[in-house]
Chains A and B, each alone.
Chain A
């Protein structure tokens, strides 16, 4: 940055915290509107059923009930939007309430509105739905069979799309290979489980034709546009407000039926209508993540050089498409080669429909899957080729001087020093000593495993050419007459802390304190149209838009100051609320005076307009590609299969850092979610499509004691893509950690001949692998499931 960085790079305490630690923040459900009614949804208990009839009479007559609606009553509302553009994607439209067929457990079939939560809950049980259960298809591989039940009767089969990507000469690679190594890996379905369930509040003011929607969302503007389209209501009359949001992880990067239903009902009933998701609903009908199966096939040289990779990925999309559902697996495809030189590559993706809730973006969205597939494979390859996993990785990593690096999938990696991150991680974890300790302990019957993962991810989504609904971001920065700075961002942070990091950037530019800066987000009537917060884009893309505004404002301030000081603006500097001559700091003018001049507009230089406001719509020229190496050390209990994390070292390179405290928080939180995926989490369905992990009593997310002390380090390779040099870090932890953890457990069992295990590595799965590998008949070296 051209300006002196007094605040950027410093671990400032967050500006958003005082309200949050005192219970003074407002999440949607905390907002009180006079006379607000409560909406509830009657949901299908069947994964696949024909709805024969719905009897609403009893519910309608129950105390406190104002309305009961079925699909018939909401025909005017358009379908749930899907923005993903995939060639030849089969149609699988979802309406806000199921018409004649329910296609997953939890799909809404009727809506009830009552005066309060208690009456509502009573009335939901009184809606009588007559279902005819239909055969459900739950397993994505079975869904591909010819005789499988079809999720959508109108389609010929359950294949939603096939997508291919090829680069380099794969045939040649396989011809020249010394070895062909194959591995099948699954990345199980997860439930995002943000702490705040979704919540919606809608108000219609007929006099003003104003429809206001408060929603716990990551994408206020996209939501506004889509709601206007679904309800056929003028977008200029729709006001979306996203107040405090209790976590999203992608699950709130979507448009859901309840948002449209609440708006529709608020208009119909003339009273505000709110809907608050229960945790069970959150598990059943907020998007799920991952759920991909990969068949990896490598062409390798005996010395470990990778020649080619053929990856076949089966992605379980669920019953319908949410906003980005079909797109997510293609991100896996783009990143499948990881941080390696793989000259030829072919990815074949099959998106399949099943009778389950849709999958969509969950923290990392396609990249954790890609990284897991390639990094798990690297350890597998190392074992097959009898090489050290570190050396196999190092051998195939492009060197720093090779960047920008064009991958066989057609991406241009901006910049990197993979070896640097790897070396630092090995040093911090004392790798060589660790290996010696491991060998010594194994002799004593203690099974320690060391797992490694070197990752590259794709962030700062992204150039609009590669994004379904635009990849730019907007900002307006305004210096108010009193000298307060207002930053209006199209991004929609919900826990990441950009109220602080954006204020740090603004404070440095304008020469004020971060306390003088207010960051506004989430209110579509206040901030310019924006894309939202996801894909580790808020700082790198949203922050750059702000950067550009600040540049313009600073130049304008200097121009006015130059005029007032009668000196050349280029010789001036702005710091500590003062503008002064660089070579003679005593010659200065107070910032307030310059701001005053901008607003009173009596002494402005020629050609300078009054006011101090700048707006920017920033279109990034490329993605950014953060990278790093994580190392995990685990111990396995030979008797029970129990696993214990002994040590965790993360080295991440997210480019330049604005606030290290926030980066640390993102990395640690992401690793914790990986620990969840690796050891605890899995959405388990029975054969009929019932979600058996439908509450927190059966779906385990990590608790404090499940997480080891995380030692986190950074290398800094600024990206040339944006002037902040920042790449994004929101998802790095979930991307880097998963393979490191699984590799560690497999390594702990390596002496038994175990080469691969599928997640989640619950005690029993590990125990079974130990038993099977130890059993004399089982034959060592076999894969175990």
Chain B
């Protein structure tokens, strides 16, 4: 299924770009990611424990950044597999300055398979939206100057 939207982050594109390229920040912002280990340039091996409400599952997979045009756009791909099935996300992020802030437009596609596709059908899209929302929230938090 296709998803798109926009989110405003409280910093200039350069700062956002920097965060997006920081594996530590990525690991923190990508929902459920427990660890990200480098696996080549702009490519990471991920361990993911995904949770939404009572539903949870363990996955292993990759996170990959590509088609980078700093600090304007990039492509973010995740693919992961586990006992409940697999999911792939392939999205493009476009950054644009909006005053002192940055508007990130995203457009991409989510694909799920296995049990996730069967049972989760009703909820996959909502869960994906929720995950994207969380991703940006954590990213936004990381951009706010820490109090004190």
Contact = CB atoms under 8 A, between A and B. Distances in A.
A691 B119 contact: no
Interface in A80-139: 105, 125
A613 interface: no
A697 interface: yes
A441 to B, nearest CB: 37
Interface residues of B, number: 15
A698 B121 contact: yes
Nearest to A688: B111
Contacts of B121: 692, 698
A688 B118 contact: no
Given A105-B113, A688-B111, A45 B119 contact: no
A46 interface: yes
A105 B111 CA distance: 14
A280 B111 contact: no
Given A45-B85, A45-B86, A695 B113 contact: no
A501 interface: no
Nearest to A105: B113
Contact of B119 (A125, A686, A697): A697
A690 interface: yes
A694 interface: yes
Contacts of A698: 118, 121-122
Contacts of B85: 45
Contacts of B113: 45-46, 105, 688, 690
Contacts of B112: 690
B121 to A, nearest CB: 5
B87 to A, nearest CB: 10
Chain A interface size range:
10 to 19
Contacts of A45: 81, 85-86, 113-114, 117
Contacts of A690: 112-113, 117-118
Interface in A3-51: 45-46
Interface in A324-357: none
A691 B118 CA distance: 7
A280 B119 CA distance: 10
Contacts of A688: 111, 113
A698 B112 CA distance: 16
B83 interface: yes
B117 A695 contact: no
A697 B118 CA distance: 9
Given A45-B85, A125-B83, A694 B118 contact: yes
A690 B121 CA distance: 10
B62 to A, nearest CB: 13
Interface in B108-148: 111-115, 117-119, 121-122
Interface string A689-725: 0111011011000000000000000000000000000
Interface string A260-291: 00000000000000000000100000000000
A695 B111 contact: no
Given A45-B85, A45-B86, A125-B83, A686 B117 contact: yes
A258 to B, nearest CB: 20
A105 B117 CA distance: 11
A347 B87 CA distance: 43
Given A45-B114, A692-B117, 6 more contacts: A45-B85, A45-B86, A280-B115, A686-B1, A691-B118, A694-B117
User: Top 5 closest A-B pairs, CB basis?
Assistant: A694-B118, A45-B114, A690-B117, A125-B83, A45-B113
28 contacts: A45-B81, A45-B85, A45-B86, A45-B113, A45-B114, A45-B117, A46-B86, A46-B113, A105-B113, A125-B83, A280-B118, A686-B1, A686-B111, A686-B117, A688-B113, A690-B112, A690-B113, A690-B117, A690-B118, A692-B117, A692-B118, A692-B121, A694-B118, A694-B119, A695-B118, A695-B119, A697-B119, A698-B122
Interface of A: 45-46, 105, 125, 280, 686, 688, 690-692, 694-695, 697-698
